[in-house]
Structure 1
Amino acid sequence: MENPITAQHGLKYDLKNAHDELKRLRHKHGGIYLIHQPVYLCVDPEVCKLILTKDFQYFGGRGASFDYKKNPLGQHLFNLEGEAWRNMRVKLTPTFTSGKMKQMFDTLLDCGIPMLERIDELVQQKKSLDIKEIVGCYTTDVIGSCAFGLECNSFKDPKSEFRKNGRILLSARPIFTIAIFLRFVMPSILKKIPVKFIPQDIEDFFVGAIKSVIDHRSSNNVYRNDFVQILLDMQEKSKADGQEPMTVMEIAAQSFVFFIAGFETSSTTMSFCLHELAFNQDVQDKLRNEIKKTMQENDGKLTYDGVMGMKYLDGVVNETLRKYPPLPMLFRKCDRDYTLKDTNTTLEAGTNVFISILGLHYDEEYYPNPEKFVPERFMDENKHSRPQYTHLPFGEGPRNCIGSRFGLMQTKTGLAMILNKFRVLPGPGETYKINFNPKITIMTKKGDLLLMAENL
């Protein structure tokens, strides 16, 4: 790669303030080094379009080495590369149609009832809401039911296995952070070190849960409209077509990543959204009016079409995802030599590519006054005035987040249920500025996020 920008050229990266650094890097476009590994840092939306979509054949992988013998639950869509990824993507794409989402919608409403009851209980007691924990229980119950067909009961049993293991997996574990770093910069060393990304007891729990569900359904002729059933139907179709069916471990791996990605990304988005609404009461009032009007038009009920058709709710959620994207950066790897269009810069095969989502989302050229929460940025009259690939909370192109439709449905439904019943306010000691935890890959607040609520 020509003319890399190294630390000696002024590009320093402070891991303690990683998220602020990624915002700052919006003005740094070019090459950097991670130890000895060259990395191309991209914050130009036109180049992002080439890498993520137009010239995807050069950047099909994420550039991370992974040993599936040591980590069998890691053989899921997010990690797979090459032909294995393409085959799995084709198999899973029909899983997330709007029709499939509608089938799961009532489950979201059922899981939201205990959430509303918990909030009401705290309101009556005049206690603050640990909103990260509350919406985390909600999304755990939703994903547990939709992915595994199991009732997690996180509100009744805070020590439930799904909730407990979810907390552990998303906690800041030093060995995990080191292993992630080595996957990108020294994969040869990682191959020699027997690192398990997922603790054995948690792996045993999730694999055991899937096996138990499969055995129960086959023995009792049980059919449910959930993610596991879709995978089982795909397995049967493959057998009927004379194709290689998914193994139980592959089913477990896809269910596992659906659980991890689904419960945490949606819960953090809901948390940050409610935080913004607590500090922006005018936005909250406008959104609540839309929710109530939509419900009145649907006999006082929340429906799938009603939730997904609310334009201001869509703007609120997208603005939240702009300020707080679940992943602050996208990773790709150049599979073969590639010359950037209209430049003399050639990325050599094996070069890692980092796309700074935060850099794009906080660029004043696309989002004036980027620290301000302005849902109107995503109204039809405004969002089409920006270049494509300046809003990438779910990535773009063939490797975008396959579950984004489900995540948005879950997030919007939970928010609509809460805001229809309660007004949220800043909690004691809470400040508007969020301090992020730099030790966790997904953007999350350091410490609790406390709100107050009032019955309407």
Structure 2
Amino acid sequence: MLLTQMLLIIVLGLVGYFAYWLRKRLNYWQDLGIPCDQPHYLLGNLVGVQKTRSFAEIALSTYRKFKGTGPFCGFYWLQRPTAFVLDTNLAKAILIKDFNKFTDRGFYTNPDDDPLTGHLFSLDGHKWRVMRNKLSPTFTSGKMKQMFPTVTRVGAELVNVVAAALSDGSTLEVRDFLGRFTTDVIGSCAFGIDCNSLKNPKDPFREMGRRVFIDQRHSLVGIAFIILFPKLCRRLHIKLTPDHITEFYMRIVRENIEYREKNGIRRNDFFDMLLELKNNKMMKTEDGQAMTNITVEELAAQAFVFLVAGFETSSTTMGFALYELAQHEHIQQRAREEVCEVLTRHNGEFTYECMKEMSYLNQVISETLRKHTIVPMLTRECLEDYQVAGHPKYQIKKGMFVVIPAVGIHFDEDYYPNPEEFNPDNFTAEKVAQRDSIEWLPFGDGPRNCIGLRFGLMQARIGLAYLLKNFKFDVCEKTQIPIQYNKKTFISMAESDVYLRVEKVVE
């Protein structure tokens, strides 16, 4: 009886302590007098996430509500107190000026048990710096030129497949075609696989690429536990990636390594560059130090993040671009005329130099990335107590999560007049020169910007140029206007299929 009572007291004590801890944690900003919304006990200020609100909607509404109240407002990422940045000067300090205090993204990684999480996007501290140094030489303009023929080959195949699909009617779901295009590009460049999902939509590589964004290992409660107690979760060997996804990509990588090394195969693609890192054949670092080899697991993780970052984001960007062009015929026609004019100057051959000459098409892509911000929020973790200059009350504590709402900045009338309007002239050379880089953040900014931005833009430019040269796009009765974002994914992607009327351009 005494033992039962003692156990009951211990349990009640633990419950009481947890309730006190949670209440204190969820009153962090209120106690400091910093503006914030009242948080939900489980979801914090992410109320509605995965059900009624997308991450972009949450970020934009918070930015608009609290802008002008201070350099940042209080926010709760689930139960984690977070500094939600409202001022571009502070955003610039975090991403560039004081980057050394905010180098980490604060995402959970566990490469020992979950090898595919050991990629550049999620790595922190010294591990991130080492891997960034190793990978930077693989994303130079010279390396892009080497991969350019692969992308143009797939772009030409995209035209053939779309043209064939028009025999069944002029209304097409364009997102699927674009996803198959980027799958074939990434499959070839990152994994050395000619999966040809453009002709075979049910290709296993294509299907697994989709599942990466859909299949989750943990529920929202499990994710909250990982966010709150990352060190404990690593000790408990908790994984993020579903086993079937890990097994699929690790098998492909191992088979590809064995095949290329056994047969002396070189394709001048991203996988070749990773193999050089594995075998320690890459150039030295800037300070002359030889780079250490990467392991097979590290190689697989980098190839995997190349897929994640390049497959869905690029196809989604292209889909949003076609969606906007279908509603703005004059913009579409201007972009098409530029593409045709540039190709004519190059005797009909799509060269690497063509992309630079297609300045208006580049403006269309930049405006698409502004209006449809694929990654709506940038995240950082503070590495030491940080006092915001000129604001004594505003301090970001060591270990605190920081959110920079890129989508809020992109829809701020102070930077983009009439932000709801699709206007590529926002990105003329003159306006870009006048604008601070921090006011356009689809790829982040500073030392930890997206390392693959050159490849992502190249892929989108090639795909759109091929499509615009050969097809005209228009809205139809099945086109969703305005388009709605998927509530279940962090990135901004269409909630449903993107249907457009497609016609062959008569030359």
**Alpha-carbon spacing, 1:243–1:379, altered in 2? closer, same or farther (3 Å):** closer
CA–CA distance in structure 1, aligned partners of residues 39 and 413 of structure 2:
24
2:320 maps to what in 1? 272
Measure, in 1, the Cα distance between the counterparts of 2:224 and 2:156.
40
Cα gap change, 1:42/1:159 in structure 2, threshold over 3 Å: closer, same or farther?
same
Evaluate the alpha carbon distance shift between residue 89 and residue 348 of structure 1 in structure 2; reply closer, same or farther with a 3 A threshold: same
Structure 1 match to 2:38: 8
Report the alpha carbon displacement of residue 375 of structure 1 after superposing the two structures with TM. 0.2
Provide the rounded CA distance (Å) in 1 between the counterparts of 2:425 and 2:480.
Answer: 23
Tell me which residue corresponds to 1:23.
60
Q: CA deviation at 1:172?
A: 6.2
Q: TM-score, normalised by structure 1?
A: 0.95
Partner-residue secondary structure (3-state), 2:472? strand
Q: Check if 1:68 corresponds to 2:68.
A: no
Counterparts of 1:374 and 1:7, CA distance in 2: 33
Give the superposition deviation at 1:214.
1.0
**Structure 2: runs of 5 or more not aligned:** 1-28, 67-71, 284-288
Query: Which residue number corresponds to residue 136 of structure 1?
Result: 179
CA shift for structure 1 position 186 = 4.2
Deviation, 1:242, is 6.7
1:279–1:80 distance in 2 versus 1, CA, 3 Å: same
Change (3 A) 1:178 1:170: farther
- What is the CA-CA distance between 1:452 and the residue it aligns to? 1.4
Residue 296 of structure 1, CA deviation: 0.6
Shift of the 112–243 alpha-carbon distance from structure 1 to 2, 3 Å rule, reads closer
Task: Say if 1:368 and 1:184 are closer, same or farther in 2 by CA, change over 3 A.
Answer: farther
Kindly indicate whether structure 1 or structure 2 has the higher relative contact order, using CA contacts under 8 Å at least 6 residues apart. Answer: 1
**Residue 445 of structure 1: which of 491, 494, 507 is its match?**
494
Q: Report deviation, 1:410.
A: 0.2
Q: Secondary structure at the match of 1:175?
A: coil
CA offset digits 1:361-398 (Å, max 9, x no partner)? 11111111111100000001222333331110000111
Q: Paired residue for 1:126?
A: 169
Alignment of 1:314-353 (within 5 A): 314-344=362-392, 345-353=394-402
1:33 deviates by 2.6
SS of corresponding position for 1:170: helix
Matches within 5 A, 1:73-152: 73-152=116-195
Instruction: Supply the AA of the counterpart residue of 1:437.
Output: N
Check 1:245–1:116 CA distance in 2 against 1; reply closer, same or farther (3 A cut): same
- Other-structure match for 1:410: 459
TM-aligned CA distance change 1:385 to 1:419, over 3 Å: same
Task: Decide whether the 8 Å contact of 1:129 with 1:427 is kept in 2.
Answer: no
For these two proteins, the number of residue pairs brought into alignment is 456
Tell me the distance in 1 between the aligned counterparts of 2:425 and 2:215.
Answer: 35
Question: Whose Rg is larger?
Answer: 2
- Distance in 1 between residues matched to 2:459 and 2:282, nearest whole Å: 32
- Alignment of 1:166 onto 2:214: no
Distance 1:243 1:405, change over 3 A: closer
Distance 1:183 1:282, change over 3 A: farther
Residues in 2 aligned to 1:165 and 1:178: alpha-carbon distance in whole angstroms: 25
- Deviation, structure 1 residue 22: 1.7
Q: Which moved more, 1:107-116 or 1:178-187?
A: 178-187
- Cα displacement (A) at 1:37: 2.2
Q: Does 1:434 align with 2:483?
A: yes
Q: Which residue of 1 aligns with 2:7?
A: none
Among 216, 222, 240, which residue is 2:265 paired with? 222
* Residue of structure 2 equivalent to 1:256: 304
CA distance in 2, matches of 1:391, 1:69: 36
Cα distance between partner residues in 2 of 1:82 and 1:215 = 32
Q: RMSD of aligned C-alpha atoms?
A: 2.2
More deviation in 33-42 or 325-334? Answer: 33-42
Q: Deviations over 1:118-176 (max 9, x none)?
A: 21122222142111110000000000101111101102222212101011111264836
1:267 deviation in Å? 0.3
Moved more, 354-363 or 197-206: 197-206
- TM-score normalized by the length of structure 2: 0.85
What secondary structure is seen at the aligned counterpart in 2 of 1:17? Answer: coil
Give 1:201 deviation, angstroms: 1.8
| 1:305 equivalenced with 2:353 (yes/no) | yes
- The residue type equivalent to 2:213 in the other structure is L
Give distance in 1, aligned partners of 2:219 and 2:410: 27
Q: Secondary structure at the match of 1:40?
A: strand
In the alignment, what sits opposite 1:359?
408
Q: Residues 398, 248 of structure 1: CA spacing in aligned structure 2 closer, same or farther, 3 A cutoff? A: same
Distance 1:36 1:217, change over 3 A: closer
Quick one: which amino acid aligns to residue 105 of structure 2? R
User: SS in structure 2 opposite 1:8?
Assistant: coil
Tell me which amino acid in the other structure corresponds to 2:359.
Answer: K
Is 1:129–1:451's contact at 8 Å kept on the other side of the alignment? yes
What residue ranges of structure 1 are gaps of 5+ in the alignment? none
CA displacement at 1:454 relative to structure 2: 0.5
Most deviating of 169-178 and 129-138? 169-178
Amino acid at match of 2:96: T
CA contact (8 A) 2:278 2:299 kept: no
1:62/1:178 CA distance change after superposition, 3 Å: farther
Q: Among all aligned residue pairs of Structure 1 and Structure 2, give the percentage whose two residues are the same amino acid.
A: 38
Q: Residues 36 and 220 (structure 1 numbering): CA distance in 2 closer, same or farther, change over 3 Å?
A: closer
Distance in 1 between the 2:212 and 2:256 partners?
22
> 1:123 is paired with a residue of what secondary structure?
helix
Q: 1:211 deviation in Å?
A: 1.1
Q: Classify 1:195/1:271 alpha carbon distance in 2 versus 1 (closer, same or farther; 3 Å).
A: farther
**More displaced stretch, 236-245 vs 264-273:** 236-245
Partner AA of 1:75 in structure 2: G
CA 250–290 in structure 1, closer or farther in 2 if over 3 Å, else same:
same
Q: What does the per-residue CA deviation read over 1:60-105, in whole Å, with 9 as the maximum and x for residues that have no partner?
A: 1011232223311110101111111000000000101111101111
Q: Which residue of 1 aligns with 2:96?
A: 53
Q: Which amino acid aligns with 1:348?
A: K
CA-CA distance at 1:198 after TM superposition: 2.0
